[in-house]
Amino acid sequence: MTAKVYCGIDPGYKTGGIAIVSGDWGEVHDLPTFESGGINCHQMDHILNSTSIDFVVIEKQGGRPGQGVTSIGNLMMAYGQILGCLQMLGLRHEIHSPHSWKKKMRVTKDKDFARQLAIQQFPKLAMDLKLKKHEHRAEALLLAAFARELDRG
């Protein structure tokens, strides 16, 4: 019996992350975006089709108090593009709020805490998480770990 493969996606308009994990193996990527923003679905397809993924968890997106209308619009456009890519690829996925998955995975609001936690859980990927700006990669890894927990029931 082969180990199941899980994916976590931390959405963004110009940033974000995709992680794929199975057993003690994993890989993490920056979310493929265009320089001007928006999701490069061709590159996302290449990443997601690099292996047979069983289950994906994506972080739910929404506006936050004080966030500008243009910023919210851009983020929601990218979020919709990601969901469209997942639908097109026929990947089983669920959307979870930041509050729900972070509570389950014991992630605080401190972005660097998420990075340190991901390094602890995925030490083989520590070099891919060495910079503070790699917080999106870290959250994608933790979302993939959350997907694995959900699938275990």
pLDDT in tens, 107-153: 998 889 999 999 999 999 999 999 999 999 999 999 999 999 998 76
User: How large is the average pLDDT for residues 42-68?
Assistant: 90
Tell me what the mean pLDDT of segment 3-10 comes to. Answer: 96
Q: What is the pLDDT of residue 131?
A: 95
Condensed to tens digits (0 to 9), the pLDDT of residues 12-52 reads 888 899 999 998 899 999 999 998 888 999 999 999 999 99
Please name the amino acid found at residue 125.
L
Q: Does domain 6-152 have CATH number 3.40.50.12500?
A: no
4: its two tokens: 């199941």
Query: Domain limits of the chain?
Result: 6-152
Rounded to two decimals, the pTM is: 0.93
Residues 26 and 124: their CA atoms lie apart, in Å, by 8
| Cβ–Cβ under 8 Å, residues 149 and 106 | no
